[in-house]
Amino acid sequence: MNEYLPVLLMFAIAMGLAVVIPVISWALGPKKPTRSKLSVYECGLNPVGSARERFSVKFYLIAILFIVFDIEIVFLYPWALYYKEAIANGSGLYLFLVMGIFFAVLTLGLIFEWRKGALDWNKKL
């Protein structure tokens, strides 16, 4: 049980701070709401339109494509770390070909998306 004591102590401190800091902020904060204090701050400009504005599906498509191609780097990093050791073991060519196939599939996917116009902001879906 002694091994878990530091973790439990840190958890208790984090939970305590998560409760205490908002309570102190609420208790000591100013209580004079005005129209200008309650308005949304937009970099010094008056807000235009509603905060509930709908986004285009294009926005979400670009976000998903970014995540797919960003995850590629997550797979590339461990491969790059292991590749030097694999060259010494003689399996470097195999790893290089496997990663080449991985990149080829992703490149074909990017070309497909590009040709379909998924990356063009001006094109209507």
Tally the residues of the chain: 125
pLDDT values of the chain reduced to their tens digit, one per residue, 125 residues: 788 999 999 999 999 999 999 999 999 987 888 887 777 776 767 767 776 777 778 888 888 888 888 888 888 888 888 887 888 888 888 888 988 998 899 899 889 988 888 877 776 65
pLDDT at position 18: 97
Predicted pLDDT of residue 5: 93
- DSSP structure string for 56-120: PHHHHHHHHHHHHHHHHHHHHHHHHHHHHHHHHHT-HHHHHHHHHHHHHHHHHHHHHHHHHTTT-
What residue spans define the domains of the chain? 57-116
